[in-house]
Structure 1
Amino acid sequence: MNFELKGVHYDLSDATKEFIEKKLERIAFANEYIIDLQITITKNKPGYSVESNVNFRWGHSSHVGTQSHELYEAIELMIDKLEHVVRKEKKKVREH
Structure 2
Amino acid sequence: MDVNIKSIHFDATEKLQDFIIKKINRLARHNESISNAEVTLKVVKPETSMNKEAGIKISVPQQDDIFASKVANSFEEAVDLSIEALERQLEKIKGRK
State TM-score, norm by structure 2. 0.81
In 2 relative to 1, CA 26–32 (structure 1 residues): closer, same or farther, beyond 3 Å? closer
In 2 relative to 1, CA 10–89 (structure 1 residues): closer, same or farther, beyond 3 Å? farther
If each structure's strand is expressed as a fraction of its own residues, which one has the higher value? 1
CA distance in 1, matches of 2:66, 2:40: 14
The structure 1 segments of at least 4 consecutive aligned residues displaced by more than 3 Å after TM superposition are none
User: Which of 63, 67, 70 in structure 2 is aligned with 1:66?
Assistant: 70
1:20 is displaced (CA, Å) by 1.0
Q: How does 1:67-86 map to 2 (within 5 A)?
A: 67-86=71-90
1:25 is displaced (CA, Å) by 3.4
1:32 is displaced (CA, Å) by 3.2
Between Structure 1 and Structure 2, how many residues are aligned? 93
State TM-score, norm by structure 1. 0.82
The sequence identity of aligned pairs, in percent, is 25
Query: Which residue is equivalent to 1:29?
Result: 29
CA RMSD of aligned residues (A): 1.7
If each structure's helix is expressed as a fraction of its own residues, which one has the higher value? 1
Gapped runs of 5+ residues in structure 1?
A: none
Query: Which residue is equivalent to 1:19?
Result: 19
